[in-house]
Chains A and B, each alone.
Chain A
Amino acid sequence: AAKGEREQLRPTSPVKINADRAEWQKGGSMVYTGNVRLESGDLKLSGDRLNLTQFDNGEFEAKVDGKPAKLDHAGLAAAGTRGDERPPVTARASTLTYDSRNDIVEVAGDALLTRGTDEIRGQNIRYDVTERRIEAQGKEGCEGASTKAGCQVEIVIQPPPRKGKTEGGAAAPSPGKAASNP
Protein backbone atom coordinates (compact mmCIF):
# COMPACT_ATOMS: atom_id res chain seq x y z
CA ALA A 1 0.00 0.00 0.00
CA ALA A 2 1.21 3.51 -0.72
CA LYS A 3 2.58 5.30 2.34
CA GLY A 4 -0.51 7.50 2.82
CA GLU A 5 -2.85 4.53 2.51
CA ARG A 6 -0.62 2.50 4.86
CA GLU A 7 -0.78 5.28 7.46
CA GLN A 8 -4.56 5.13 7.21
CA LEU A 9 -4.65 1.35 7.56
CA ARG A 10 -2.32 1.39 10.60
CA PRO A 11 -4.27 0.71 13.84
CA THR A 12 -4.30 3.62 16.31
CA SER A 13 -6.47 1.91 18.89
CA PRO A 14 -5.44 2.06 22.53
CA VAL A 15 -3.17 -0.65 23.76
CA LYS A 16 -4.12 -2.71 26.79
CA ILE A 17 -1.59 -4.79 28.73
CA ASN A 18 -2.46 -7.21 31.51
CA ALA A 19 0.13 -8.97 33.66
CA ASP A 20 0.76 -10.31 37.14
CA ARG A 21 3.38 -7.62 37.85
CA ALA A 22 5.04 -4.58 36.34
CA GLU A 23 8.31 -2.86 37.17
CA TRP A 24 9.60 0.43 35.80
CA GLN A 25 12.86 2.22 36.45
CA LYS A 26 13.68 5.78 35.48
CA GLY A 27 15.28 5.79 32.05
CA GLY A 28 14.37 2.14 31.51
CA SER A 29 11.60 0.26 29.81
CA MET A 30 8.57 -1.03 31.63
CA VAL A 31 8.87 -4.77 32.31
CA TYR A 32 5.71 -6.81 32.68
CA THR A 33 6.00 -10.37 34.00
CA GLY A 34 3.61 -13.29 34.51
CA ASN A 35 0.63 -14.13 32.26
CA VAL A 36 1.34 -11.15 30.03
CA ARG A 37 -1.26 -10.19 27.41
CA LEU A 38 -1.10 -7.22 25.02
CA GLU A 39 -4.16 -6.23 23.00
CA SER A 40 -4.19 -3.54 20.32
CA GLY A 41 -7.21 -3.55 18.05
CA ASP A 42 -7.54 -7.07 16.67
CA LEU A 43 -3.91 -7.98 17.40
CA LYS A 44 -3.09 -9.97 20.53
CA LEU A 45 0.32 -10.96 21.88
CA SER A 46 0.88 -13.11 24.96
CA GLY A 47 3.84 -14.58 26.81
CA ASP A 48 5.72 -14.72 30.11
CA ARG A 49 7.56 -11.39 29.94
CA LEU A 50 7.09 -8.13 28.04
CA ASN A 51 9.55 -5.26 27.75
CA LEU A 52 7.80 -2.11 26.64
CA THR A 53 9.82 0.83 25.38
CA GLN A 54 7.75 3.92 24.75
CA PHE A 55 8.91 6.67 22.40
CA ASP A 56 8.18 10.35 22.74
CA ASN A 57 5.43 10.35 20.15
CA GLY A 58 3.56 7.68 22.09
CA GLU A 59 4.63 4.88 19.74
CA PHE A 60 6.18 1.85 21.34
CA GLU A 61 8.12 -1.37 20.90
CA ALA A 62 6.89 -4.44 22.79
CA LYS A 63 9.26 -7.41 23.08
CA VAL A 64 7.44 -10.51 24.30
CA ASP A 65 9.29 -13.63 25.47
CA GLY A 66 7.58 -16.90 26.20
CA LYS A 67 7.63 -20.67 25.95
CA PRO A 68 6.36 -19.91 23.40
CA ALA A 69 5.26 -16.32 22.96
CA LYS A 70 2.04 -16.18 20.92
CA LEU A 71 0.46 -13.87 18.38
CA ASP A 72 -3.17 -13.91 17.29
CA HIS A 73 -4.41 -11.56 14.57
CA ALA A 74 -8.12 -11.92 13.90
CA GLY A 75 -9.20 -12.51 10.33
CA LEU A 76 -11.28 -10.13 8.26
CA ALA A 77 -14.61 -11.14 6.77
CA ALA A 78 -15.06 -10.97 2.98
CA ALA A 79 -15.93 -7.28 3.21
CA GLY A 80 -12.32 -6.64 4.30
CA THR A 81 -10.42 -3.54 3.15
CA ARG A 82 -9.50 -5.29 -0.08
CA GLY A 83 -12.91 -6.90 -0.49
CA ASP A 84 -11.34 -10.35 -0.19
CA GLU A 85 -11.46 -12.42 2.92
CA ARG A 86 -8.33 -12.19 5.10
CA PRO A 87 -7.78 -15.36 7.12
CA PRO A 88 -6.70 -15.18 10.77
CA VAL A 89 -2.97 -15.27 11.44
CA THR A 90 -1.29 -16.86 14.45
CA ALA A 91 2.37 -17.17 15.39
CA ARG A 92 4.39 -19.03 18.00
CA ALA A 93 8.07 -18.35 18.76
CA SER A 94 10.57 -17.72 21.53
CA THR A 95 10.34 -13.97 20.96
CA LEU A 96 7.86 -11.64 19.31
CA THR A 97 8.87 -8.01 18.85
CA TYR A 98 6.12 -5.63 17.81
CA ASP A 99 7.00 -2.10 16.71
CA SER A 100 3.98 0.17 16.49
CA ARG A 101 5.91 2.69 14.38
CA ASN A 102 5.88 0.39 11.37
CA ASP A 103 3.29 -2.10 12.65
CA ILE A 104 5.60 -5.06 12.11
CA VAL A 105 6.04 -8.12 14.31
CA GLU A 106 9.40 -9.88 14.20
CA VAL A 107 8.77 -13.58 15.01
CA ALA A 108 12.08 -15.11 16.07
CA GLY A 109 13.31 -18.44 17.43
CA ASP A 110 11.66 -21.69 16.22
CA ALA A 111 9.03 -19.60 14.58
CA LEU A 112 5.78 -21.09 13.34
CA LEU A 113 3.22 -18.85 11.70
CA THR A 114 -0.14 -19.93 10.35
CA ARG A 115 -2.29 -18.02 7.93
CA GLY A 116 -5.65 -19.74 7.73
CA THR A 117 -4.63 -23.36 7.07
CA ASP A 118 -1.19 -22.54 5.63
CA GLU A 119 1.89 -22.99 7.83
CA ILE A 120 5.24 -21.24 7.61
CA ARG A 121 8.26 -22.37 9.69
CA GLY A 122 11.62 -20.67 9.87
CA GLN A 123 14.09 -19.05 12.22
CA ASN A 124 12.91 -15.51 11.55
CA ILE A 125 9.53 -14.51 10.19
CA ARG A 126 8.45 -10.94 9.70
CA TYR A 127 4.72 -10.20 9.82
CA ASP A 128 3.40 -6.88 8.54
CA VAL A 129 0.21 -6.41 10.56
CA THR A 130 -1.20 -3.61 8.45
CA GLU A 131 -0.68 -5.35 5.13
CA ARG A 132 -1.07 -8.88 6.58
CA ARG A 133 2.07 -9.77 4.60
CA ILE A 134 4.63 -12.39 5.65
CA GLU A 135 8.37 -12.59 4.97
CA ALA A 136 10.29 -15.63 6.21
CA GLN A 137 14.02 -16.33 6.48
CA GLY A 138 15.92 -19.51 7.25
CA LYS A 139 18.87 -19.83 9.61
CA GLU A 140 21.98 -17.90 8.64
CA GLY A 141 25.29 -19.69 8.29
CA CYS A 142 23.71 -22.83 6.90
CA GLU A 143 25.35 -22.63 3.47
CA GLY A 144 27.16 -25.86 2.76
CA ALA A 145 25.65 -27.55 5.82
CA SER A 146 25.26 -31.31 5.29
CA THR A 147 21.63 -31.23 6.35
CA LYS A 148 19.19 -28.45 5.63
CA ALA A 149 16.98 -29.35 8.57
CA GLY A 150 16.10 -26.22 10.47
CA CYS A 151 18.05 -24.10 8.02
CA GLN A 152 15.42 -23.45 5.44
CA VAL A 153 12.00 -21.88 5.50
CA GLU A 154 9.25 -24.44 5.13
CA ILE A 155 5.83 -23.53 3.85
CA VAL A 156 2.90 -25.94 3.84
CA ILE A 157 0.06 -24.67 1.67
CA GLN A 158 -3.29 -26.38 2.02
CA PRO A 159 -5.20 -26.30 -1.29
CA PRO A 160 -8.62 -24.69 -1.01
CA PRO A 161 -11.49 -27.28 -0.87
CA ARG A 162 -12.78 -28.17 -4.37
CA LYS A 163 -16.08 -26.40 -5.20
CA GLY A 164 -19.09 -28.76 -4.99
CA LYS A 165 -17.02 -31.39 -3.06
CA THR A 166 -19.56 -33.47 -1.07
CA GLU A 167 -18.95 -34.63 2.45
CA GLY A 168 -16.65 -37.66 2.48
CA GLY A 169 -15.64 -37.16 -1.19
CA ALA A 170 -12.23 -38.25 -2.48
CA ALA A 171 -9.39 -37.04 -0.33
CA ALA A 172 -8.08 -33.63 -1.28
CA PRO A 173 -4.73 -33.74 -3.14
CA SER A 174 -1.72 -33.87 -0.73
CA PRO A 175 -0.59 -30.37 0.49
CA GLY A 176 2.11 -28.68 -1.54
CA LYS A 177 5.42 -28.33 0.37
CA ALA A 178 7.80 -25.62 -0.60
CA ALA A 179 11.17 -24.88 0.82
CA SER A 180 13.37 -21.95 0.03
CA ASN A 181 16.98 -21.28 0.76
CA PRO A 182 17.67 -18.49 3.25
Chain B
Amino acid sequence: MNRLVVPGIAVLLLALAFFGFRGEDSPSEGNATTSEQPRYVLRGAEWSSFNENGVLEFQGSATNIDYFDDESARLRTFALSVFGAKGAPWTATAPEGYSPPGQRERLQLLGGVEGKGRWPDGEEMVFSTPQLWVDTKAETITTDEKVDLKSKSRTASARGLKVTGPKQEMSLLHEVEMHYVPR
Protein backbone atom coordinates (compact mmCIF):
# COMPACT_ATOMS: atom_id res chain seq x y z
CA MET B 1 0.00 0.00 0.00
CA ASN B 2 1.45 3.37 -1.07
CA ARG B 3 1.12 6.16 1.48
CA LEU B 4 0.91 9.80 0.39
CA VAL B 5 1.37 11.96 3.52
CA VAL B 6 0.60 15.63 2.94
CA PRO B 7 1.44 17.99 5.82
CA GLY B 8 -0.13 21.37 5.76
CA ILE B 9 3.17 23.06 5.39
CA ALA B 10 4.37 23.23 1.80
CA VAL B 11 6.53 20.17 1.34
CA LEU B 12 4.82 17.12 -0.09
CA LEU B 13 6.29 14.06 1.63
CA LEU B 14 5.84 10.87 -0.33
CA ALA B 15 6.21 7.60 1.48
CA LEU B 16 5.90 5.20 -1.31
CA ALA B 17 7.21 1.79 -1.88
CA PHE B 18 6.38 2.00 -5.55
CA PHE B 19 4.71 4.49 -7.86
CA GLY B 20 3.99 4.54 -11.57
CA PHE B 21 5.50 7.12 -13.90
CA ARG B 22 4.02 8.89 -16.87
CA GLY B 23 2.69 6.91 -19.73
CA GLU B 24 0.72 4.68 -17.40
CA ASP B 25 -2.94 4.45 -18.23
CA SER B 26 -4.23 7.11 -15.84
CA PRO B 27 -7.86 8.23 -15.43
CA SER B 28 -6.90 11.79 -16.28
CA GLU B 29 -6.06 10.94 -19.87
CA GLY B 30 -9.27 11.43 -21.78
CA ASN B 31 -11.05 14.04 -19.65
CA ALA B 32 -8.33 15.84 -17.77
CA THR B 33 -8.83 19.60 -17.64
CA THR B 34 -5.03 19.82 -17.46
CA SER B 35 -3.46 18.46 -20.67
CA GLU B 36 -0.10 17.90 -18.93
CA GLN B 37 0.75 14.50 -17.56
CA PRO B 38 0.51 13.83 -13.79
CA ARG B 39 3.71 14.26 -11.80
CA TYR B 40 2.93 11.05 -9.92
CA VAL B 41 0.58 8.19 -10.64
CA LEU B 42 -0.06 6.18 -7.52
CA ARG B 43 -1.72 2.80 -7.26
CA GLY B 44 -3.54 1.54 -4.21
CA ALA B 45 -2.82 4.78 -2.37
CA GLU B 46 -3.65 6.19 1.05
CA TRP B 47 -3.85 9.97 1.43
CA SER B 48 -3.49 11.54 4.88
CA SER B 49 -3.59 15.29 5.30
CA PHE B 50 -2.47 17.13 8.42
CA ASN B 51 -2.97 20.77 9.32
CA GLU B 52 -0.24 23.19 10.42
CA ASN B 53 -0.38 21.78 13.96
CA GLY B 54 0.05 18.23 12.73
CA VAL B 55 -3.56 17.33 13.45
CA LEU B 56 -5.06 14.85 11.00
CA GLU B 57 -7.57 16.66 8.79
CA PHE B 58 -8.68 13.78 6.68
CA GLN B 59 -7.74 10.33 5.53
CA GLY B 60 -8.54 8.86 2.16
CA SER B 61 -7.73 5.87 0.05
CA ALA B 62 -7.99 5.40 -3.68
CA THR B 63 -7.18 2.70 -6.17
CA ASN B 64 -5.54 5.42 -8.28
CA ILE B 65 -4.28 8.96 -7.63
CA ASP B 66 -2.90 11.21 -10.37
CA TYR B 67 -1.05 14.07 -8.71
CA PHE B 68 -0.23 17.05 -10.97
CA ASP B 69 2.37 19.81 -10.83
CA ASP B 70 -0.32 22.41 -10.07
CA GLU B 71 -1.04 20.45 -6.89
CA SER B 72 -4.35 19.19 -8.25
CA ALA B 73 -5.21 15.53 -8.00
CA ARG B 74 -7.61 13.09 -9.61
CA LEU B 75 -8.57 10.00 -7.72
CA ARG B 76 -10.41 6.86 -8.59
CA THR B 77 -12.52 4.73 -6.26
CA PHE B 78 -12.06 7.21 -3.51
CA ALA B 79 -12.95 6.63 0.15
CA LEU B 80 -12.66 9.46 2.65
CA SER B 81 -13.00 10.00 6.41
CA VAL B 82 -13.29 13.52 7.85
CA PHE B 83 -14.01 15.35 11.14
CA GLY B 84 -12.30 12.50 12.93
CA ALA B 85 -10.54 14.82 15.35
CA LYS B 86 -13.51 16.51 17.02
CA GLY B 87 -16.78 14.91 16.08
CA ALA B 88 -17.41 11.30 15.18
CA PRO B 89 -16.02 10.84 11.65
CA TRP B 90 -18.06 11.23 8.53
CA THR B 91 -17.10 8.81 5.79
CA ALA B 92 -17.87 8.88 2.06
CA THR B 93 -16.99 6.79 -0.99
CA ALA B 94 -17.30 7.63 -4.68
CA PRO B 95 -16.04 6.29 -8.00
CA GLU B 96 -14.03 9.48 -8.56
CA GLY B 97 -12.42 12.26 -6.54
CA TYR B 98 -10.84 15.59 -7.46
CA SER B 99 -8.77 18.15 -5.60
CA PRO B 100 -8.49 21.54 -7.34
CA PRO B 101 -5.10 23.12 -8.08
CA GLY B 102 -3.46 24.51 -4.97
CA GLN B 103 -6.48 23.71 -2.79
CA ARG B 104 -5.35 20.54 -1.10
CA GLU B 105 -7.91 21.07 1.66
CA ARG B 106 -10.84 20.85 -0.79
CA LEU B 107 -11.94 17.54 -2.25
CA GLN B 108 -14.82 16.78 -4.55
CA LEU B 109 -16.34 13.33 -4.68
CA LEU B 110 -18.06 12.54 -7.95
CA GLY B 111 -20.02 9.91 -9.78
CA GLY B 112 -22.46 9.00 -7.02
CA VAL B 113 -21.43 9.41 -3.39
CA GLU B 114 -22.45 7.07 -0.57
CA GLY B 115 -21.63 8.15 2.93
CA LYS B 116 -22.16 7.78 6.67
CA GLY B 117 -22.60 10.58 9.17
CA ARG B 118 -24.68 11.68 12.15
CA TRP B 119 -27.68 13.86 12.71
CA PRO B 120 -26.96 16.71 15.15
CA ASP B 121 -28.51 14.65 17.93
CA GLY B 122 -25.92 11.95 17.31
CA GLU B 123 -28.09 9.36 15.58
CA GLU B 124 -26.13 7.60 12.86
CA MET B 125 -27.41 7.99 9.30
CA VAL B 126 -26.41 7.14 5.76
CA PHE B 127 -26.65 9.59 2.89
CA SER B 128 -26.30 9.57 -0.88
CA THR B 129 -25.90 12.32 -3.45
CA PRO B 130 -24.48 12.65 -6.95
CA GLN B 131 -21.53 14.76 -5.82
CA LEU B 132 -20.06 16.20 -2.62
CA TRP B 133 -17.51 18.82 -1.63
CA VAL B 134 -15.42 18.31 1.50
CA ASP B 135 -13.46 21.27 2.86
CA THR B 136 -11.14 19.96 5.52
CA LYS B 137 -9.97 23.43 6.58
CA ALA B 138 -13.45 24.95 6.95
CA GLU B 139 -14.59 21.52 8.19
CA THR B 140 -17.68 21.55 6.00
CA ILE B 141 -19.41 18.99 3.80
CA THR B 142 -21.62 20.51 1.09
CA THR B 143 -23.57 19.63 -1.99
CA ASP B 144 -26.01 21.66 -4.04
CA GLU B 145 -27.58 18.59 -5.59
CA LYS B 146 -30.33 16.24 -4.42
CA VAL B 147 -29.41 14.42 -1.23
CA ASP B 148 -31.15 11.58 0.58
CA LEU B 149 -30.49 10.89 4.27
CA LYS B 150 -31.75 7.86 6.16
CA SER B 151 -31.56 6.66 9.76
CA LYS B 152 -33.65 4.51 12.08
CA SER B 153 -36.02 7.24 13.16
CA ARG B 154 -35.91 9.65 10.21
CA THR B 155 -35.56 9.83 6.46
CA ALA B 156 -35.08 13.08 4.58
CA SER B 157 -34.58 14.35 1.08
CA ALA B 158 -33.58 17.84 -0.02
CA ARG B 159 -31.78 19.77 -2.69
CA GLY B 160 -28.58 21.02 -1.11
CA LEU B 161 -26.89 20.09 2.17
CA LYS B 162 -24.36 21.79 4.37
CA VAL B 163 -22.78 20.20 7.43
CA THR B 164 -20.35 22.10 9.65
CA GLY B 165 -18.29 19.57 11.57
CA PRO B 166 -17.24 21.08 14.86
CA LYS B 167 -20.62 22.63 15.71
CA GLN B 168 -22.44 19.59 14.28
CA GLU B 169 -24.67 22.05 12.45
CA MET B 170 -26.75 20.77 9.53
CA SER B 171 -28.70 22.72 6.91
CA LEU B 172 -30.98 21.20 4.32
CA LEU B 173 -31.06 24.03 1.79
CA HIS B 174 -34.09 23.60 -0.52
CA GLU B 175 -37.17 21.43 -1.13
CA VAL B 176 -36.95 19.66 2.23
CA GLU B 177 -39.06 16.62 3.00
CA MET B 178 -38.55 14.86 6.33
CA HIS B 179 -40.31 11.73 7.56
CA TYR B 180 -40.25 10.90 11.26
CA VAL B 181 -40.97 7.27 11.98
CA PRO B 182 -42.67 6.83 15.40
CA ARG B 183 -40.67 4.54 17.71
Contacts and interface: CB of A to CB of B under 8 A. Distances in A.
A25 B167 contact: yes
Given A28-B120, A58-B153, A17 B177 contact: yes
A14 B182 CA distance: 6
A26 B180 contact: no
A25 B174 contact: no
A159 B171 CA distance: 50
Interface of B is mostly: strand
B43 to A, nearest CB: 40
Given A15-B180, A16-B178, A25 B168 contact: yes
Contacts of B179: 14-17
Interface in B153-179: 153, 156, 158, 167-179
A23 B174 contact: no
Contacts of A16: 177-180
Contacts of B24: none
Nearest to A55: B183
A12 B179 CA distance: 13
Interface in A1-50: 12-28, 30, 32
B121 interface: yes
SS class of chain A's interface: helix, strand, loop or mixed?
Answer: strand
A19 B169 contact: no
A17 B182 contact: no
Interface residues of A, number: 23
A22 B175 contact: no
Among B156, B170, B180, the one with the most A-chain Cβ atoms within 10 Å of its Cβ is B180
A57 interface: yes
B169 A60 contact: no
A102 interface: no
A22 B172 contact: yes
Nearest to A18: B177
A17 B180 CA distance: 8
**Max chain A Cβ within 10 angstroms of own Cβ: one of B120, B167, B168:** B120
A60 B167 CA distance: 23
Contact of A24 (B169, B177, B182, B183): B169
A32 B176 contact: yes
A19 B119 CA distance: 18
